[in-house]
Structure 1
Amino acid sequence: MTTVAPTRRPVLRAAVVRKLLALGLMLLVLAGWGAWQYLRRQSVDSETLGPLPSDRQAMTVLLVEPDVTLGIDAGLRRDHTASLARALARRLDEAGYRTQSLSARSDEERFGQTAQGQDRDAAAAHQTRIAQAIREFAAPVLRVSLADQRMDGHRVAEHTYRVELLEPQSLQPTWRATLTWREGRYQSIALLWHLRKNRLPPPQWDSLADLAMQRLRRDGVIGQTAVIR
């Protein structure tokens, strides 16, 4: 039976300690990197482009869905524009606003099927209906659209959405916000912190909708308190 010489035991112990310290330091760095990524996972920038509307009791949420040619494998299934628009409409409802939700583009436009006459007519009819609904509701329009998606190999690393406030008659923007969501490789480490009470963090679109509502209030686009209908 082979035994370790007594003089080699301190050397072996020191080597094991060094490896454990190196492993602990690496885990600490990964945890710190994941926490940093998690803290910067979302951001918002906004600017006021013109006079804000005086009517603050109603809002149209206009969803601009991206082209299907964006690519199913590249990002369409990871595009959360519709979920973000629905989350914003729900929060405006909860704040006491009258809302209507509209889709800015017809299926024919999104699928690139406007070469045929009947598809072109259907797309034009859809645009006419949307414009009429906006005019009849006579409320400021929040247009929600996908601005960009940055890829990291085959993975979507960053989503950028745009929320614009439009004047209902001219449909010219008077306020604009850019919402960014970043997918970090090590964010899952930081997510373990949320699981300490068996609670998952909110989905991406809910977090961005909350961020957008905070900025809408801060910039005076909507009131700080609920609207009394």
Structure 2
Amino acid sequence: MLAMLCVVIAGWAGWQYSRRQAVDSESLGDYRADGRAITLLLVEPDVSLNLDAGLRRDSTARLARALDRRLADLGYRTQALSARSDEERFGLTAQTSARTAAIQHQARTAQTIREVGAPVLRVSLDGMKRDGREIAEQAYRIELLDPQTLQPAWRATLTWREGRYQSLALLWHLRHNRLPPPLWDSLADLAMARMREDGVIRAEALIQ
């Protein structure tokens, strides 16, 4: 009975671990990231998410930086821009001056995107699900935008699920003298693989 229980627990943990991350994507147009440059547009969440540990668990910026490194390794020139002003993120746009500053920030960002003319990879938080006070699931959205129209031509949703498998996975990795990769690195690898598969970016590194 004890052996059977251990097998059941191991199977359950393995099943949870296998579904810890997922990606769903869809093509919305023919535009692709041809050329050698990409603009990373980071949509940072509201600072109010900091209440009840929301923002502290958000990995939007880390995911964007992980994608930036991988795109650079492929030979892309990358430029990072913030989609939202501090006034927007801090919920201050009820004031006329702050609302004006937010509008000006959006206009400057859109103008820079159009002047650079490079494909835009927009990274944003798509939602979080809680299990009581704990965050059980995080979803991030990545979109490829045409820099002239700012309309999405491709979209993917990356999902990371927390679970009790995490401690078992940690022990497994420690047996091999290494730590498991953080969720932003795992999701960045997943996103890059799907972008190659869908033909959004080139599959091989550019030879300089």
* Bin of the TM-score, shorter chain as denominator length: over 0.9
Matched, 1:130 2:92: no
1:10 aligned partner: none
Preserved CA contact (<8 Å) 1:113 1:119: yes
Which residue identity is paired with 1:221?
Answer: V
5 Å-filtered alignment, 1:55-204, equals 55-204=34-183
The runs of at least 4 aligned residues of structure 1 exceeding 4 Å deviation read none
Preserved CA contact (<8 Å) 1:67 1:111: yes
**Cα deviations across residues 157-195 of structure 1 (Å, max 9, x unaligned)?**
000110000000110000001100000123311331111
Q: Which range moved further: 24-33 or 97-106?
A: 24-33
C-alpha separation between the residues in 2 aligned to 1:126 and 1:27? 57
Q: Which runs of 5+ in 2 are unaligned?
A: none
Q: Which runs of 5+ in 1 are unaligned?
A: 1-20
SS of 1:75 mapped into structure 2: helix
- What is the CA-CA distance between 1:71 and the residue it aligns to? 4.2
Name the % identity: 67
- What is the CA-CA distance between 1:104 and the residue it aligns to? 0.3
1:207 aligned partner: 186
Q: 1:142 to 1:221 in 2, by over 3 A?
A: same
TM superposition score normalised by structure 2: 0.94
SS of 2:52 mapped into structure 1: coil
- What is the CA-CA distance between 1:31 and the residue it aligns to? 2.4
Preserved CA contact (<8 Å) 1:114 1:123: yes
Which residue identity is paired with 1:29?
Answer: V
SS of 1:73 mapped into structure 2: helix
C-alpha separation between the residues in 1 aligned to 2:14 and 2:191? 23
Preserved CA contact (<8 Å) 2:39 2:78: yes
2:12 aligned partner: 33
Preserved CA contact (<8 Å) 1:35 1:187: no
TM superposition score normalised by structure 1: 0.86
Which residue identity is paired with 1:109?
Answer: E
Which residue identity is paired with 2:28?
Answer: L
Preserved CA contact (<8 Å) 2:126 2:140: yes
- What is the CA-CA distance between 1:95 and the residue it aligns to? 0.6
